[in-house]
A and B are shown apart, each in its own frame.
Chain A
Amino acid sequence: MIGFGAQVAAIARRDLRRERRTGEVVWVTLPFGAIALLLVPLAIGTDAPMLQRIGPGLFWVVVMLFGVLISVRQTNAETTAQRDQVALTGLDPAAIYVGRAAASFVLLVVFQAALGVVTLVLYDVPVEGLVLLPVTFLVVGAGLALLGTLAAGIVSTGTNATALVPLLVAPLSIPLLIGATQALEALRLGRSSLTWVLMMIVTVLVLAIAGVLSARPLQETG
């Protein structure tokens, strides 16, 4: 019997290997997010100071909405038979949940970093808040990964599964969106960002606990 950590690592490795083969995040979701950042100025106007002001907020909205696609990719990729096969291996359902979330976390951090560069270039965003950015990327990545994996587990293979996950994730990711935008804004204005970062960390912890506790009942559901 292998330990919990090894089970998590095995599941995460499997998901990341699948991503390396298909390249879904790097070749599809990331360009899609970049296109969204390109389209907004075409729709609302190319006034440089305005774009500079809305750039950071827009970046987080794109991360939240398109980040869901990263979490939901496993729902699309896995068939019921594959899911049953994983369940039959006897792996701890909580380890499967954490492993999947860990893989999504890695991909989401890469996604945020790449899209962050695109935002900096296109919107000429001021760089004062950049010290906090890696921390925010990590916390938002963890939160979105845990939430998306939980939602994908809840929806599973039902009808409209792919469309339903974003509907569940988007409203519940509000604390992450508010935390991320306000933390950087506070830093820009010379105020402490600690409260906002703590709020995001609490959200991540709540999601982790909820995901681990619900992993077994959700696996029973099939």
Chain B
Amino acid sequence: MTDRPQSTTTSWPWIAMAVAGLITFVASMTVNPDAIQGQLSRIMYVHVPSAWLAYLAFAVTMAASAMYLWKRDLAWDRRAHASAEIGVVFTAMAIGLGMTWAKPTWGVWWTWDARLTLTAIMFFVYLGYLALRRTTDDLHARARRSAILGVLAVVQIPLVHFSVIWWRTLHQPPSVFEPASPDIDTPMLATLLLAVAMFTVMYVAMMVKRVELARLEDEILVSEQVDDSVVAGEAVTAPLLDGGAA
């Protein structure tokens, strides 16, 4: 019988997440509202960082997948998996918050805008990535398959980001990283950048916890496979001598 892996005890990520969340909440609620959109503009301080985090997470998935294919070290696979999972959650958040923002401003929950549609497609591609990981229990087979998809899927990020420039869309063009000058008020910009930084801290904290959890999951999987495996020669019984003594 193999020993069960010990549970994780690292607690600083929880504290980091709580502090970062609190700072984002306080900053986004105290900054002056937008002159035109009013209180509604506060959604921006969660919507934009969520979208940024999704890009970051999927880029990390790609990098970690490439590293796995190069090094064949399962630690890279776990990082890729953890990052993709966090990315999917934040993509869903960005879409959900975007829809909440769209209803009062555009009058509809959903519109066939290039960025919205491509973000939804990106969401489904990475959902497929997570589904792919559930198709086999062989750790290296799973890692190799998902690493290839993890590298391929990253083409979605530039497509989503530059869609507002390449196509005529309803979604506003970049306000912060504009080639000329940022089209946003300085206090709002500072709050937005702070929120982005805090979300990045949350991402790092989540990654630490999720990678730890992934390592434990892998250890459990391996221990179960060892428990279940049949020992070679198990089916062969020793010949019985007279009287039934082996």
Residues of A within 8 A of B (CB): 150, 154-156, 158-161, 164, 167-168, 170-172, 174, 206, 210, 214, 217-218, 220-222
In the complex, whether B106 has a CB less than 8 A from a CB of chain A is: no
* Closest-CB distance, B49 to chain A (whole angstroms): 24
Q: Taking the complex as formed, is B213 at the interface, i.e. its CB lies under 8 A from any CB of chain A?
A: no
6 additional contacts (CB under 8 A) given A158-B136, A160-B135, A167-B131 = A154-B145, A168-B149, A171-B128, A174-B121, A218-B144, A221-B141
Closest to B143 in A: A221
User: Given the complex of chains A and B, what is the CA–CA distance between A214 and B175 in angstroms?
Assistant: 39
Q: What are 18 A-B residue pairs whose CB atoms fall within 8 Å in the complex?
A: A154-B145, A155-B132, A156-B135, A156-B141, A158-B132, A158-B136, A158-B145, A159-B135, A160-B135, A164-B132, A164-B135, A168-B125, A168-B132, A214-B148, A217-B147, A218-B144, A218-B145, A221-B141
Give chain B nearest CB distance to A26 CB in angstroms: 29
B134 and A159 contact, CB distance less than 8 A: yes
CB distance from A207 to the nearest CB of B (A): 9
Contacts of A222 in B (CB 8 A): 141
Q: Which of B130-169 contact A (CB under 8 A)?
A: 131-132, 134-136, 140-141, 144-145, 147-149, 151-153, 155
B30 to chain A, nearest CB (A): 40
Q: Whole-angstrom distance from the CB of A101 to the nearest CB of chain B?
A: 15
| Cβ A171 vs Cβ B131 within 8 A | no
**Which listed residue, B121, B134, B148, touches A218 by the CB 8 Å rule?**
B148
The 9 lowest CB-CB distance pairs between A and B, nearest first, are: A158-B135, A221-B141, A158-B136, A214-B148, A168-B128, A167-B128, A171-B121, A171-B125, A221-B144
Residues of A within 8 A of B144 (CB): 217-218, 220-221
Chain B residues in 8 Å Cβ range of A220:
144
Q: Are the CB atoms of A159 and B145 closer together than 8 Å? A: no
Q: Number of B interface residues, CB 8 Å?
A: 23
Cα(A221)–Cα(B146), bound, Å = 11
Q: Decide yes or no whether B109 CB sits under 8 A from chain A.
A: no
CA distance in complex: A160, B135 (Å): 7
A161 to B141, CA, bound (A): 14
| Closest chain A CB from B147 CB (angstroms) | 8
Beyond A168-B128, A171-B121, A221-B141, whether A154 also contacts B148 by CB under 8 A is yes
Instruction: Flag if B124 contacts A161 (CB, 8 Å).
Output: no
Residues of B contacting A217 in the complex (Cβ-Cβ under 8 angstroms): 69, 144, 147-148
For B149, list chain A residues within 8 Å (CB). 154, 168
Residue of B nearest to A168 (CB): B128
CB distance from B36 to the nearest CB of A (A): 33
Q: Are A159 and B148 in contact (CB under 8 A)?
A: no
CB distance B152 to A172 under 8 Å? yes
| Option from A159, A161, A167, A206 in Cβ contact (under 8 Å) with B127 | A167
Q: Are A161 and B135 in contact (CB under 8 A)?
A: yes
Rounded to whole Å, the gap between the CB of A63 and the closest CB of chain B is 18
Smallest Cβ distance from B11 to chain A, in angstroms?
Answer: 36
Among the interface residues B122, B127, B128, B144, which one has the most CB atoms of the partner chain A within 10 A?
A: B128
- Residues in chain B near residue A210, CB distance under 8 A: 148, 151-152
A155 near B145 (CB under 8 angstroms)?
A: yes
Cβ distance B131 to chain A, nearest Cβ, rounded Å: 6
Interchain CB contact (< 8 A) of A160 among B124, B134, B140, B153? B134
List residues of chain B with CB within 8 A of the CB of A155: 132, 135, 145
Shortest beta-carbon distance from A147 to chain B in Å:
10
Q: Which chain A residues border B155 with CB–CB below 8 Å?
A: 206
Please determine whether B125 and A172 come into contact, CB atoms closer than 8 angstroms.
yes
Q: Which of B72-87 contact A (CB under 8 A)?
A: none
- Closest-by-CB residue of A relative to B121 is A171
In the assembled complex, the CB of B214 is this many whole angstroms from the nearest CB of chain A, namely 19
